[in-house]
Amino acid sequence: MSSISIANNHLSAFVGYRKQRKELLETGAAVFEMRPDAVEQSALYTAEQLEEHNTVFGLHAKTVVFDRKVAFVGSFNLDPRSVNLNTEMGWLVESESLAEAVAQSIEKDIAAGNSWQVILKDDGHPEWITVENGVVTVEAEKEPMTSAARRAEADALAIVPDDAQL
């Protein structure tokens, strides 16, 4: 089973992902969305530092590991927009040590407390599962830790993007 870790603080990119999330899940991929309050961030910064600099964790780099032997790291999105419009790039490196390090980093990012695992319920709607203070929590009605206004913005923007560029 492939595993995908996704989170994005860029609304237009998130809308593109959101439109494709169900299809990703239907392929059997394990999908994880990064929590903006990831436990991992507290290991790097104090709460005061995060507040002082208004830091919100998000995901930008694109990383893929193949058989823990080959790693791709870059900013290149796997979409026509990156191919035709943006000047994005990435490195494909055959290195077991790099691939292992990248895989371990991804595993840390998707660990309990750092992400939500997104699954499809029997009715076809997404559900988000995470661990908070040692307790498994489930959000089945909406994307977790989002405001009604932010979801409304995403709903409105979903009308605009050209799907051919996603």
Q: Which two tokens stand for residue 51?
A: 């507040």
User: What is the pLDDT, as a whole number, of residue 31?
Assistant: 92
User: What is the pLDDT, as a whole number, of residue 5?
Assistant: 46
Max CA separation in the chain (angstroms): 45
Structural domain range at position 7: 3-165
Q: Which two tokens stand for residue 152?
A: 């409304």
What is the Cα–Cα distance from 60 to 146, expressed in whole angstroms?
Answer: 19
Cα angle 101, 103, 109 (rounded to 5 degrees) comes to 105
pLDDT tens readout for residues 110-158:
888 889 999 999 999 999 999 888 899 998 889 998 888 888 888 888 8
What is the Cα–Cα distance from 124 to 121, expressed in whole angstroms?
Answer: 5
Give the global pTM: 0.76
- Going residue by residue through the chain (166 aa), what tens digit of pLDDT does each one get? 455 544 555 777 778 888 889 999 999 999 998 887 787 776 777 778 777 876 665 656 788 999 999 999 988 877 777 778 777 888 999 999 999 999 999 998 888 888 999 999 999 999 999 988 889 999 888 999 888 888 888 888 888 756 665 5
User: What is the pLDDT, as a whole number, of residue 1?
Assistant: 47
- Number of compact structural domains in the chain: 1
User: What is the pLDDT, as a whole number, of residue 96?
Assistant: 97
